Amino acid sequence: MTRECALLLPGVCAALADPRQPGSDDTCLEKLLDWFRSMTEFDPSVSLVQDNPCLTEFITSILALPEPSPSILSFTLRLAGILASSENRFQHLQQEKLLVRLFGADGPLSSTVWEDASVRSGWVEGVHSMMHHQPALHFLCNSGGIDVIFALQGDPSLFVASSASQLLVHMLIFSVESETTKPFGAKDFDWPVCARMIIKRIEDSLQSSSASQVEQSLKLLTSLFSSCHSRWTEVLWLGMAKQIESFLTDETVQAQRVLANLLLNMAWSPVFCDSEGGLWALVTSALEHLTPVQVGPLAVGILRLYKCPQDVRIQALTVLLQPMDCILRAASQPLEYAGLLDESVSDPATVESLLSSKSSCASLLCQTLAHLEELLSLVYLRVDLPYTSLLRSLMTILQFCNGFLSPASPLGSTISRILINCFRVQSSALDVLAALSERKGCDTLIGSLFDVLLAYLESPNTTPTVLKKTFQATSKWLVRLHELSCSTSQWQQTEKILADVFLVLQKRLCSPCWEVRDSSLEFLTVLIKCLRDQDEFRQSLLSSEVPRLTENLLEDPESYVRASAVTAVGHLAFITFFAPELPVIGNQYNKENTVAKLQEILSKDPEGFPRRAVISMFTKWLRQGCTGRMEDTERFVSRVIQTVEHDLDWEVRLGGLELVEVFCSQTICQLGLPGCSSVPVLSAVTSSIHQNRSLQIFCRAKLFSFLFRSLCDCDKPVGQRACDILFALRGNFYPTGTPRDSQETGELPAGHGIAWLQRTLRQGSLAQNFPTAGGDGVDFEDPESMMLALGTIDLEELHDELNRSSDHVEKSPQSLLQDILATVGTIEENEADCY
Amino acid sequence: LICLCLHPGAGQDVGRSCILVSIAGKNVMLDCGMHMGYNDDRRFPDFSYITQNGRLTDFLDCVIISHFHLDHCGALPYFSEMVGYDGPIYMTHPTKAICPILLEDYRKITVDKKGETNFFTSQMIKDCMKKVVAVHLHQTVQVDEELEIKAYYAGHVLGAAMFQIKVGCESVVYTGDYNMTPDRHLGAAWIDKCRPDLLISESTYATTIRDSKRCRERDFLKKVHETVERGGKVLIPVFALGRAQELCILLETFWERMNLKAPIYFSTGLTEKANHYYKLFITWTNQKIRKTFVQRNMFEFKHIKAFDRAFADNPGPMVVFATPGMLHAGQSLQIFRKWAGNEKNMVIMPGYCVQGTVGHKILSGQRKLEMEGRQILEVKMQVEYMSFSAHADAKGIMQLIRQAEPRNVLLVHGEAKKMEFLKQKIEQEFHVNCYMPANGETTTIFTNPSIPVDISLGLLKRETAIGLLPDAKKPKLMHGTLIMKDNSFRLVSPEQALKELGLAEHQLRFTCRVHIQDPRKEHETVLRVYNHLKGVLKDYSVQHLPDGSITVESILIQATAHSEDQGTKVLLVSWTYQDEELGSYLTSLLKKGLPQSTA
């Protein structure tokens, strides 16, 4: 603790303890606790409480209040817990009996304030903080605290209940791991006293007739097994396994979901998944007995496991595929398709009845689809998925949803009636469809798949959200289609599909709904990014109306759409005027025209998104070497930075700096300066000439004025980036070893105004923006001055200043203490005002 | 009906609303706010309490946002794009238009200040807004077949709405923040007598009877005027939208009336868009603005111009609106530094400031501020705090309860002590239960839903054929079989039920043995019984069957001799449950024995 803070602390404590003061802002108290936590975390010594007696005095005075406010009492409990986190400080507080009075049976526990959830929460958190040494453990066990915590697991406040459960887990682990003397499995092994107390209560509540108690204990075991992977957890489990196993078949116990979660967490623990113990038998039994909805998360969790018996894996997969199988069978004529599965794990009638009920059909399908998507995202899947049937099943679901399929079978017609227009199922199915595109093996269906996708793209009933997902799936499958047609040379089908896609895209680009226009543009950009090298794609795109419509959207009333249009137009340029050989049909695309349009958006658009999109597109062009010869690029960059220099949006200015950075490194690379590693080292003479040339280019392009001004930008990231770029430039012009003038400002040569610049920057980066009237004799376009500036200005110091942002003031404990003190006496009425 | 406040912190903190309601099996999240006082995880609600119930998108049926303030919508992009909620989100049209501006504004400030990475991006805000379904006032929106929602005008800010959530005949009304008195640009909240099972009301000003907003506005204008008159500069730090527009209207009309010449500037590029929306959603503003709209648009400002950084150094008086609102970064802080040293100048803070910000420090009276680089900034300019927030006060809350006539009330978004007072008042005056749960606490409310039942035409016809003609005023008892299937209830005749469900009919008969002392032959005993019953039960059809048994309606009586004692006859009486009464009567009658005279 700094001396300043130590001086402020007594005043703060006194203010907090004063019941006449209005309660302090909650966030202040929280931040105060954060500070104490950070001070005590790595320092077990007693000095904090000894050197600051005001802390114990504060606790004493709160305890003396007849009616302390719940929030300050809660704060006190948590503070005391943090202070008591080391044995030394614990003893110190105990000497004054503070902990007994706070956490003991006669403390807040037995008073009316206990009814306030924040007090109970403070109590639990306080206990948790101190539970890092044995005296604390024994203190709590002896004071009957364990009963309190067990009771709090059923607290009406979820927050309190869950912290109580976490606390018990922590105490159990701590007790076993710090107090056990004999090895586990030894004949005379016995649990330590505190652990025994906790275990006894867990066992009791597992046998209780109260469902909530059973559930609490199962949850407790779940978090224990997930956070602790020591061998003793198995010993503990063996004592309870029989009881818990019986819950699987006992229909009176309503804890199936929790039970499945417990098994999953056990399967993840090396203790259980390796052992011969009955875990896998139990998992198998759960997969059989619980409903697909209850057991889905367990099944997908099992399939993620590295270590797991193959038969359990197959069973888990079967559980997940059952609904998909059922869909397929419901939709098909008898004997048309074999379905997905040869046999099922649980009774297929269960799945059938779930799918034919209005209330459970959509939720079961959504859950199944989400799990399948998760599986498909795994790099290594240790079971084989029947991709073709899965795809067929997905297509069936999608066709049910848009009413394109109404099968004759009673089950099929029931499901299709339930699913029609169900956008939740549509979204989930499209997500899986997109994920499936990366798996090989379902190519035979690709034609009919596009029929389904196009039907969605065309349908006016497709909601904007579903349309977006359809676009995502379509773009992925188009890439797949292309790969396929490369290998089979079936270009006709590809061309037909592309033509259809662009036709529908044309329509969507004119939608009255901005979400649809925007998603359409994003889709187009993705397509260009992935397929721009493909002839058929370029042909189809350029012969459609899409490019023209896209350009029209640069003037869309919605700024999001304008921004997306900018990005799309920028990418279109790669296949029109930036293409190595200009396509025949692309010659109506005028480069100057488009660039001018984007320039105009950059300088005139009233909103940030389109301007940001332009600057980032320009940077992309520059990176890809599309901006022409060096002189053209220089002019281009210069024009752009003069536009963005005064932009109100700092992210646009930052984008400008990024452009400058790319330009600098490209120029230096092309002229072969040592900064670019790809060029062989040149002799000192040629290097200095090049240096001069690039320096001249930078000066001519007015880069330096932009960079130095940016150092004083009122938005910090801009200043930081500018400083980084100047750093890099200095590294180029003054490679390590070359002497540079680092004299004091006073000794700087007169006439260049660099001393003034140094002074201004030093103040400017801190206090005000760069003087608009320009520099006091500083010529930012004079190479000699700029070389001098780079060499002499203390960029390191500026860099440090900029990095030490206002956060350092805002977050410092001293500032916090001052703020709390300052609010004493003022009324916190402004709390209610919000934005 | 279950309600759970997920605002972080275990107490009843003001701000950052996020409420979970379970109504007839549907789960709805009401608002998804953030706390600006923190820069770590604590700023967002802890959604892990919901994810315990499985995937968010599966668990939640929809999310509803009441208005665009960040403590009600600030965590939405985090929730939908980072936590992974992928279902529908509802808000009104103005909220959908304005919400992303504020989110973007706040994102910029946050990222600017801290270089934070664990925050949502612009793309995420956009993707989130694309998932939003915009609703009109009083439009019933069908979320799915069972769940419907409806928005009502809430005042407070442009586009703010109260929402009615209805499943079957159960309903909840969530007020969000609302204002029962019209202000300069918005009207008063209004709801019809929808008699919800539960009204969830904010209670920010639960006990405060606020001085009129007019007073505060007059005060504000006076202070600005005085400062400008003496040649000083006025800085008003604001966020891009909301309060800023309100104050702009105020200053604009004042300048016009007083014919003032000092320039007023608005520093963000966002003003155009903000004003655009205020123009676009003119129907959401109050009557006066709507009326004058034809002559002159209130939001086309004559006196307020765009600000350029260079203007800050201009001599002479001026008024500048600059972002951000808490003086913690960017332009407003830069201007503040320039002007702070001059006692002629003034800064007016029109809203809440988070601890640690320069705004918070000067409001708490600190005048020597440490800036970056250990510089000390001495604040000589005047510092004023003005609250313009528009919430319902105790009177307003009572008024809304009177309008909606809820069966239960639940208070949120207020201080515990103040809420306790209001709770008592509500319970006394309206005789309804009032709850004020702590954050994280679940409130369960039992409802008595009336469940509609379809009656088959056949049954109706039959019943009317038997009884009198139906009378609308008199309830009539009907008998039938209730079939509960596919979430619907139907009352049909038992025969139809059997047929539909493919069940076979079973007869249930009660039997009873009665011993009678009678030494005669069995058939004589039977005859005696027959005569006796015929005499007593004159209105019933008593028959003596050829097989020697007697029937009275469905009741069957047979007599046998006792196997051991020939002087005792055993009468076996059996009857169906329809004739339960008659059966019991008959047995008791027989138990008394036969009258001697009939012999």
Which of residues 49 through 78 in chain B touch A, CB cutoff 8 A? 49, 54-55, 57-58, 69-71
Please give the tally of structural domains in chain B.
4
Whether residue B222 is found in the same domain as residue B154 = no
pLDDT band at A766 (very low <50, low <70, confident <90, very high): very low
Q: Looking at residue B286, what is its pLDDT?
A: 75
Q: Where does B304-382 have alpha helices with state H?
A: 330-339, 358-363
Predicted complex ipTM: 0.90
Q: Does B145 touch chain A (CB under 8 A)?
A: yes
Q: Looking at residue B598, what is its pLDDT?
A: 46
8 A C-beta contact, residue B558 and residue B524: no
Distance between CA B64 and CA B89 in Å, rounded? Answer: 6
Q: Contact A297/B370, CB-based, under 8 Å? A: no
Q: How many CB pairs under 8 A join A and B?
A: 226
Please state the rounded mean pLDDT for residues B339-358. 88
Tens-place pLDDT, residues B368-425:
888 766 678 899 999 988 877 777 788 889 999 999 999 999 998 777 777 888 899 9
- If DSSP codes are grouped into helix, strand and coil, which group holds residue B492? strand
Whether residue B287 is found in the same domain as residue B142 = no
Residue with tokens 């008003």: B236
- The 3-state DSSP composition of chain A as helix, strand, coil percent (nearest 5) reads 70, 0, 30
Given phi > 0 = left and psi -120 to 50 = alpha, else beta, which region is B259? left
Per the omega criterion (within 30 degrees of 0), is the bond before B324 cis?
yes
List the beta bridge partners of residue B418. none
- If DSSP codes are grouped into helix, strand and coil, which group holds residue A217? helix
Q: Looking at residue A41, what is its pLDDT?
A: 92
Q: Looking at residue A834, what is its pLDDT?
A: 44
Q: Contact A835/B70, CB-based, under 8 Å? A: yes
Among residues of chain B, what percentage have pLDDT more than 70? 90
Q: Looking at residue A59, what is its pLDDT?
A: 96
Q: Which residues of A6-30 are buried (b: 16+ CB within 10 A; e: fewer)?
A: eebbeebbbbbbeeebebbbbbbbb
Tens-place pLDDT, residues B79-96:
999 999 999 999 999 999
Which of residues 113 through 152 in chain A touch B, CB cutoff 8 A? 116-118, 120-122
Q: Looking at residue A299, what is its pLDDT?
A: 94
Distance between CA B67 and CA A212 in Å, rounded? Answer: 37
Residue among B198, B222, B459 nearest B346 (CA): B222
Distance between CA A248 and CA A281 in Å, rounded? Answer: 12
Distances (CA, A) of A693 to A50, A632, A634, A791: 67, 16, 12, 18
> How close B391 comes to chain A (CA, Å)?
9
**Has residue B279 been placed in a domain?**
yes
Of B57, B334, B375, the CB nearest to A714: B334
DSSP states of A750-815: TTS-HHHHHHHHHHHTTSSPPPTT--SS--TT-HHHHHHHHHHS-HHHHHHHHHS-THHHHH-HHH
Whether residue B329 is found in the same domain as residue B401 = no
pLDDT band at A833 (very low <50, low <70, confident <90, very high): very low
Distance between CA A573 and CA A622 in Å, rounded? Answer: 13
pLDDT band at A681 (very low <50, low <70, confident <90, very high): very low
DSSP states of A570-599: HHHHHHTTTSSS--GGGTT--HHHHHHHHH
> How close A559 comes to chain B (CA, Å)?
10
Specify the amino acid at residue B527. L
Q: Looking at residue B305, what is its pLDDT?
A: 83
Distance between CA A707 and CA A718 in Å, rounded? Answer: 9
Whether residue B395 is found in the same domain as residue B464 = no
Q: Looking at residue B398, what is its pLDDT?
A: 92
**Has residue B570 been placed in a domain?**
yes
- We report the CATH number of the domain holding residue B540 as 3.30.310
Q: What is the average pLDDT value for chain B, to the nearest integer?
A: 85
Q: List, in sequence order, every beta strand (DSSP E) within B129-203.
A: 132-135, 140-142, 147-153, 161-167, 170-174, 198-202
pLDDT band at A514 (very low <50, low <70, confident <90, very high): very high
pLDDT band at A835 (very low <50, low <70, confident <90, very high): very low
Q: Where does A134-210 have alpha helices with state H?
A: 134-142, 145-152, 158-179, 193-206
Residues near A470 by beta carbon (within 8 Å), at least 6 away in sequence: A430, A453, A456, A457, A462
Tens-place pLDDT, residues B42-73:
888 888 888 877 788 989 999 999 999 888 99
Residue among B339, B384, B370 nearest A810 (CA): B370
Both tokens of B371, joined, read 């800036």
Residue among B17, B39, B20 nearest B28 (CA): B20
What residues of chain A lie within 8 A of the CB of B329, using their CB?
715-716, 806
What residues of chain A lie within 8 A of the CB of B46, using their CB?
159
pLDDT band at B336 (very low <50, low <70, confident <90, very high): very high
Residue A505 has pLDDT above 60, yes or no: yes
Q: List, in sequence order, every beta strand (DSSP E) within B155-262.
A: 161-167, 170-174, 198-202, 233-237
pLDDT band at A442 (very low <50, low <70, confident <90, very high): confident
Specify the amino acid at residue A801. E
Distance between CA B40 and CA B43 in Å, rounded? Answer: 6
Residue among B125, B196, B128 nearest B166 (CA): B196
Q: Looking at residue A548, what is its pLDDT?
A: 93
Q: Looking at residue A549, what is its pLDDT?
A: 95
Whether residue B138 is found in the same domain as residue B251 = no
Distance between CA B207 and CA B193 in Å, rounded? Answer: 25
**Has residue B598 been placed in a domain?**
no
Whether residue B204 is found in the same domain as residue B224 = no
Q: Looking at residue A187, what is its pLDDT?
A: 67
Residues near A281 by beta carbon (within 8 Å), at least 6 away in sequence: none
Residue A420: CA count within 13 A, CB half-sphere:
10
Residue among A596, A521, A607 nearest A557 (CA): A607
Tens-place pLDDT, residues A120-168:
999 999 999 999 999 999 999 988 899 999 999 999 888 999 999 999 9
Specify burial of residue A455 (Cβ count, 10 A radius: 0-12, 13-18, 19+): middle
List the beta bridge partners of residue B20. B4, B29
List the beta bridge partners of residue B223. none
Least confident of A329-333, A339-343, B576-580: A339-343
Q: Does A26 touch chain B (CB under 8 A)?
A: yes
pLDDT band at A752 (very low <50, low <70, confident <90, very high): low
Distance between CA A611 and CA A609 in Å, rounded? Answer: 5
Both tokens of A654, joined, read 């930052």
Residues near B497 by beta carbon (within 8 Å), at least 6 away in sequence: B480, B481, B483, B503
For residue B276, give its domain range.
213-385
Q: What is the average pLDDT value for chain A, to the nearest integer?
A: 86
**Has residue B556 been placed in a domain?**
yes
CA nearest B360 in A: which residue?
A819
Q: How many CB atoms lie within 10 A of CB A557?
A: 8
Q: Contact A160/B440, CB-based, under 8 Å? A: yes
Q: Contact A649/B385, CB-based, under 8 Å? A: no
Distance between CA A446 and CA A397 in Å, rounded? Answer: 16
Q: Does A160 touch chain B (CB under 8 A)?
A: yes
- We report the CATH number of the domain holding residue B225 as 3.40.50.10890
**Has residue B599 been placed in a domain?**
no
Which of B385, B402, B433 represents a domain boundary (last residue)?
B385
Q: How many secondary structure helices (H) and strands (E) does chain A include?
A: 43, 0
Which of B398, B426, B445 represents a domain boundary (last residue)?
B445
pLDDT band at B221 (very low <50, low <70, confident <90, very high): very high
Please state the rounded mean pLDDT for residues A463-488. 92
Of A424, A560, A807, the CB nearest to B113: A807
Whether residue B376 is found in the same domain as residue B291 = yes
Residue A743 has pLDDT above 80, yes or no: no
Whether residue B100 is found in the same domain as residue B240 = no
Which of residues 689 through 748 in chain A touch B, CB cutoff 8 A? 714-717, 720
Q: Looking at residue A679, what is its pLDDT?
A: 45
**Has residue B597 been placed in a domain?**
no
Whether residue B76 is found in the same domain as residue B219 = no
CA-based R_g, chain B, Å: 38
Domains of chain A: 3-143 (1.25.10), 153-267 (no CATH), 291-442 (no CATH), 692-735+750-762+776-821 (no CATH)
Q: Does A559 touch chain B (CB under 8 A)?
A: yes
Please state the rounded mean pLDDT for residues A473-494. 87
Beta B346-349 vs B89-92: how paired, if at all? unpaired
Both tokens of B37, joined, read 């006082």
CA nearest A559 in B: which residue?
B273
Tens-place pLDDT, residues B101-119:
889 888 887 877 655 667 8
Residue B554 has pLDDT above 70, yes or no: yes
What residues of chain A lie within 8 A of the CB of B355, using their CB?
25, 27-28, 31, 816, 819
Q: Looking at residue A301, what is its pLDDT?
A: 93
**Has residue B10 been placed in a domain?**
yes
Residue A360: CA count within 13 A, CB half-sphere:
14
Given phi > 0 = left and psi -120 to 50 = alpha, else beta, which region is B171? beta
Please state the rounded mean pLDDT for residues B137-161. 93
Of B10, B350, B385, the CB nearest to A117: B10
Among residues of chain B, what percentage have pLDDT more than 90? 33
Which of B385, B410, B437 represents a domain boundary (last residue)?
B385
Whether residue B275 is found in the same domain as residue B304 = yes
Tens-place pLDDT, residues B232-278:
999 999 876 777 777 888 888 899 889 998 999 987 655 566 667 77
pLDDT band at A35 (very low <50, low <70, confident <90, very high): very high
Distance between CA B382 and CA B501 in Å, rounded? Answer: 82
Residues near A541 by beta carbon (within 8 Å), at least 6 away in sequence: A498, A502, A527, A528, A547, A575
Residue among B497, B491, B487, B457 nearest B477 (CA): B491
Residue A831 has pLDDT above 70, yes or no: no
Distance between CA A320 and CA B295 in Å, rounded? Answer: 65
Distances (CA, A) of A756 to A261, A325, A781, B434: 68, 78, 16, 69
pLDDT band at A499 (very low <50, low <70, confident <90, very high): very high
Least confident of A67-76, B410-419, B583-592: B410-419
Tens-place pLDDT, residues A232-245:
998 899 888 888 88
Which residues of B are marked as active site?
A: 202
Q: Does A276 touch chain B (CB under 8 A)?
A: no
Q: Does A112 touch chain B (CB under 8 A)?
A: no
Whether residue B465 is found in the same domain as residue B562 = no
Among residues of chain A, what percentage have pLDDT more than 70? 87
Please state the rounded mean pLDDT for residues B19-38. 90
Whether residue B378 is found in the same domain as residue B397 = no
Distance between CA B360 and CA B324 in Å, rounded? Answer: 13
Distance between CA A35 and CA A33 in Å, rounded? Answer: 5
Distance between CA B594 and CA B498 in Å, rounded? Answer: 43
